[in-house]
Amino acid sequence: MGAACKDDGNQSLTVTDNRTGKVYQIPITRNSIPATAFKAIKADPRTHWLTDRPEDETEQGLRVFDPAFQNTAVVESRITYIDGARGVLRHRGIPIEQLVEKSSFLETAYLIIYGQLPSGPSLKTFEDEVLHHTYLHQDVERNLATFRYDSHPMSILTSAFATLGAFAPEANPSLAGSKVYTNAASGNLEALKLMDKQILRIIGKAPTLAAAAYRVRQGRPFNRPPQGLSYTESLLYSMDHLSGTEYRPNPVFSNALDKLFIIHADHELNCSTATVLQAGSSLVDPYSAVAAGCAALYGPSHGGAAEACVRQLLEIGTPDNVPGFMAAVEKRERVLVGFGHRVYRNVDPRSTAIRKICDDVLKVTGKSPLLETALTLADLASKSEFMRSRQLYPNVDFFSGIIYYAMGIPLDFFPVLFAVPRCVGWLAHWRQSMLQRGGVKIWRPRQVYVGEGERDYVDVDARKESWGASVFDAPVQVTHGGDTMRNRLATYRDEAGKLHTRSRL
Ligand SMILES: CC(C)(COP(=O)(O)OP(=O)(O)OC[C@H]1O[C@@H](n2cnc3c(N)ncnc32)[C@H](O)[C@@H]1OP(=O)(O)O)[C@@H](O)C(=O)NCCC(=O)NCCS
């Protein structure tokens, strides 16, 4: 395979297929190559069957094997740029540090979704619109109230977004027409209106749903979203207000949340955003796509790191246990959760801003023993040669975990406070995908099939018991919660009239 070279002013890659000796020119655009170009690279049909199985689909051309999307770009995007090596994160070109310092969450949301900072009147209209879309249909409220008190709040939130979709049939391409959103790409105003209405609804209702998930678990009635409060004040009000009038959350907490929401609004093609785009590519309604994103975010490898970080701090306990824990980290027996990042190999650009938010919040809440432990850990880690030489700095989850904990947020509610602002990123990417020229192509990755070749069906009597020899090749025996020992020791006749005796212990 040759190196990238200039070809008539264009960059290209020269590839030699050593199976056939044929040479291919593959264009390079913006330092990327089109994966479909590899489909033209085919083995010699006269010889490939000597080595390849039919399932290798050799005649269809080369496939690009990239498990976990480690080096596959699936969209052209104008939204967010990350340079992990240099510690850069910019939304629509503006560095995150400037946004955290100068912007508000809803202004950043506008920027991320629509591409520009809004003028003063446009921002006011956008804020009013979002905050006028906070109310839920009372049937949605009733639905939310049926969750058990011990449901994980992300289960509730995920279901709630899907439920919202059932209340907007006009916004469902399966009912209203498959092009109701993609028509917007040609500037169709009705399609744009429909799209932006759903964006306002989802961003507006997200805090109300989050607060409902919080209140269900406390067995408390839901608050009606307040009027005249900011986005994050409204969320805190809906979560916390019990009685009395003119309830106002502490401004340090609402400001801290607002800045944390800016920090969490988008992070280009992370797992949940890719999930939203994958679901959205079938032209499903945006509520379902956002519910899918919520489900992906909920996984411990994605939205659960802040929670895992606090759990580790609780495990460490008091500050005097920190040196012992650090020693275990340096011996590579433990991993310091909340440090290091797959993309940022330098200081995470968000962590400096978040450190300041953390200080502000701790001034109001005071430091708990756990926070002393966290700060001792951060201090010791910054002096550790092991951590420094590997460029392992506190990541955004370390400080957000501490802030949420200091604010008295339950650990399993942390991902909810990630999902609410991330709706902005999901919807910005969804909108961008609906507006792409040439329409939306359904995302359908390929696979490398490594299973059985063709084989014949065997009648049941002729099958051997040894089939399913390994624990993975047959269902394991499961236990039945309702099948108590008393039931197993009882006798009864089932619906078919068969008598069951007491031999089932
Ligand atoms: C985020 C994370 C998964 C990135 O992992 P990665 O890209 O695979 O990092 P690497 O394996 O390249 O790490 C390089 C070295 O640092 C070490 N390392 C990385 N993160 C570490 C951590 N948090 N604590 C201790 N050692 C760590 C690795 O063991 C490796 O050491 P080695 O070179 O001696 O083998 C990893 O840093 C991690 O597990 N962090 C803790 C969990 C966390 O906070 N996740 C939230 C991320 S937003």
Domains of the chain, by residue range, sit at 5-69, 85-442
CA 198 to ligand 1 centroid distance, Å = 39
Q: Report the alpha-carbon distance of residue 131 to residue 140 in Å, rounded.
A: 18
- What is the model's pLDDT at position 395? 86
| pLDDT band at residue 368 under the 50/70/90 scheme | confident
Instruction: Report angle CA 320, 377, 87 to the nearest 5 degrees.
Output: 175
Mean pLDDT of all residues in 250-277: 97
CA 85 to ligand 1 centroid distance, Å = 15
Mean pLDDT of all residues in 369-384: 91
State the virtual CA torsion across 431, 437, 439, 441 in degrees, nearest 10.
-90
CA 412 to ligand 1 centroid distance, Å = 23
Q: Looking at domain 85-442, which CATH architecture does it have? A: Orthogonal Bundle (1.10)
Closest by alpha carbon to 323, among 255, 379, 403, 395? 379
Of 48-62, 64-78, 378-392, the least confident: 48-62
Could you identify the atom of ligand 1 that is nearest to the CA of residue 309? 44
CA 223 to ligand 1 centroid distance, Å = 42
Distances (CA, A) of 53 to 67, 199, 454: 21, 48, 11
Q: State whether residue 361 is helix, strand or coil.
A: helix
Residue in 336, 377, 384, 399 to alter for ligand 1 test, most ligand atoms within 8 A of Cβ = 336
- What is the model's pLDDT at position 477? 86
Q: State whether residue 258 is helix, strand or coil.
A: helix
Summarize pLDDT for 155-203 with one digit per residue, the tens.
Answer: 999 999 999 999 999 999 999 999 999 999 999 999 999 999 999 999 9
Residue in 339, 346, 397 to alter for ligand 1 test, most ligand atoms within 8 A of Cβ = 339
Summarize pLDDT for 306-356 with one digit per residue, the tens.
Answer: 888 999 999 999 999 999 999 999 999 999 998 988 788 777 888 878 888
Residue closest by Cα to atom 36 of ligand 1? 340
Q: Counting every residue, how long is the chain?
A: 505
Residue closest by Cα to atom 10 of ligand 1? 342
- What is the model's pLDDT at position 49? 77
| pLDDT band at residue 503 under the 50/70/90 scheme | low
Q: Does residue 481 have a pLDDT over 90?
A: no
Which are the catalytic amino acids? Answer: 302, 341, 397
Look over the chain and give the mean of its residue pLDDT values, rounded to a whole number.
Answer: 93
Could you identify the atom of ligand 1 that is nearest to the CA of residue 396? 48
Residue closest by Cα to atom 5 of ligand 1? 342
Eight-state DSSP code of residue 218: H
- What is the model's pLDDT at position 505? 56
Q: Does residue 1 have a pLDDT over 80?
A: no
Summarize pLDDT for 39-60 with one digit per residue, the tens.
Answer: 999 999 888 878 889 999 999 9
Q: Does residue 375 have a pLDDT over 50?
A: yes
Mean pLDDT of all residues in 229-235: 98
State the virtual CA torsion across 241, 247, 253, 258 in degrees, nearest 10.
90
Q: Name the residue with higher pLDDT: 135 or 476.
A: 135
- What is the model's pLDDT at position 301? 86
- What is the model's pLDDT at position 469? 72
Place of tokens 């797992």: 271
Over its C-alpha atoms, the chain yields an Rg (Å, rounded) of: 27
H-helix segments, 241-366: 251-264, 271-280, 286-297, 305-316, 322-330, 349-365
8 A C-beta contact, residue 427 and residue 338? no
| pLDDT band at residue 467 under the 50/70/90 scheme | low
| pLDDT band at residue 480 under the 50/70/90 scheme | confident
Residue closest by Cα to atom 48 of ligand 1? 341
Amino acid at 309: C
- What is the model's pLDDT at position 6? 46
What percent of the chain shows pLDDT beyond 90? 79
Summarize pLDDT for 79-100 with one digit per residue, the tens.
Answer: 999 998 898 999 999 999 999 9
Residues 6+ apart with CB under 8 A from 293: 272, 273, 275, 276, 279, 419, 422, 426
CA 381 to ligand 1 centroid distance, Å = 13
Of 107-121, 133-147, 385-399, the least confident: 385-399
Q: Does residue 420 have a pLDDT over 90?
A: yes
- What is the model's pLDDT at position 178? 96
Q: Does residue 485 have a pLDDT over 90?
A: no
Residue in 332, 341, 380, 422 to alter for ligand 1 test, most ligand atoms within 8 A of Cβ = 341
Tell me which residues have their CB closer than 6 angstroms to ligand 1.
Answer: 305, 329, 335-342, 390, 392, 395, 397
Say if residue 352 is exposed, middle or buried (CB neighbours under 10 Å; 0-12, 13-18, 19+). middle
Closest by alpha carbon to 381, among 390, 402, 396, 317? 390
CA 340 to ligand 1 centroid distance, Å = 5
Mean pLDDT of all residues in 207-226: 97
Q: Report the alpha-carbon distance of residue 207 to residue 148 in Å, rounded.
A: 20
Show the tokens assigned to 279.
């679901």
- What is the model's pLDDT at position 4? 43
Mean pLDDT of all residues in 96-120: 97
| pLDDT band at residue 7 under the 50/70/90 scheme | very low
